[in-house]
Amino acid sequence: MPVRKVVRIDDEKCNGCGLCVTPCAEGAIQIVDGKAKVVREELCDGAGFCLAVCPTGALSIEEREAPEFSGEAARDRTTQPMAGSKQHITQRCFLCGSGEGAEVLMPCRFKGDSLWVCVRCLPRLIHG
Ligand code: SF4
């Protein structure tokens, strides 16, 4: 097996909030029994986009032996939910509360928090 970058989840620090599930475009992270898990290592590309959203610092990137990343498996994964896990957790705009079913949401950082803002509220953030 190759040595490469993959996400590591600290079970002690994870509170199961699920904020890391949606930012993982490959569907590698799911909430299983109340904790975030990398369900299959070949789904994790090691990009680390999930790290910034974790409020407890439970996520990190480590270099270790892991199966090669598979773009094909990631594409299959996003269309085939795994039984017993949450495939998708709906996020909401921190300003107006709109869900992603109603507005396009974007991730942002503010005063140490990872937040989602909708495109309607974005101009307010930029221009005050
Ligand atoms: S964002 Fe952090 S605390 Fe929340 S589920 Fe993911 S790893 Fe756990």
Q: What would the pLDDT profile of 11-59 be if each residue is shown by its tens digit?
A: 999 999 988 887 787 889 999 999 999 988 999 988 887 887 888 999 9
Please tell me the residue having the least CA distance from ligand 1 atom 8.
14
Residue 7's CATH number: 3.30.70.20
Q: Is 111 left (phi over 0), alpha (psi -120 to 50) or beta?
A: left
Q: How many CB atoms neighbour CB 66 within 10 A?
A: 19
Q: What is the DSSP letter of 61?
A: E
Question: What is the tally of structural domains in the chain?
Answer: 2
66 lines ligand 1 (CB under 6 A): no
Is 60 part of any domain?
Answer: yes
Q: Is there a single domain that holds both residue 60 and residue 120?
A: no
Is 85 part of any domain?
Answer: no
Q: How many CB atoms neighbour CB 72 within 10 A?
A: 8
Task: Give the number of the atom of ligand 1 that is nearest the alpha carbon of residue 59.
Answer: 7
Amino acid type, 123:
P
Cα 128 to ligand 1 centroid, rounded to whole Å? 31
Please tell me the residue having the least CA distance from ligand 1 atom 2.
54
Please tell me the residue having the least CA distance from ligand 1 atom 4.
17
Cα 34 to ligand 1 centroid, rounded to whole Å? 10
pLDDT in tens, 7-24: 999 999 999 998 888 778
Q: Is there a single domain that holds both residue 7 and residue 50?
A: yes
The closest of 31, 11, 36, 19 to 82, measured between CA atoms, is: 31
Specify whether the CB–CB gap between 21 and 49 falls below 8 A.
no
Q: Which residue has the higher pLDDT, 112 or 45?
A: 45
Please tell me the residue having the least CA distance from ligand 1 atom 6.
20
Q: Is there a single domain that holds both residue 71 and residue 46?
A: yes
Domain that residue 28 falls in: 3-79
pLDDT at 100: 81
- Is pLDDT at 126 greater than 80 in this prediction? yes
Q: Given 79, 102, 117, which residue is the final one in a domain?
A: 79
Q: Is there a single domain that holds both residue 71 and residue 113?
A: no
Sign of CA dihedral 56, 62, 65, 66: positive
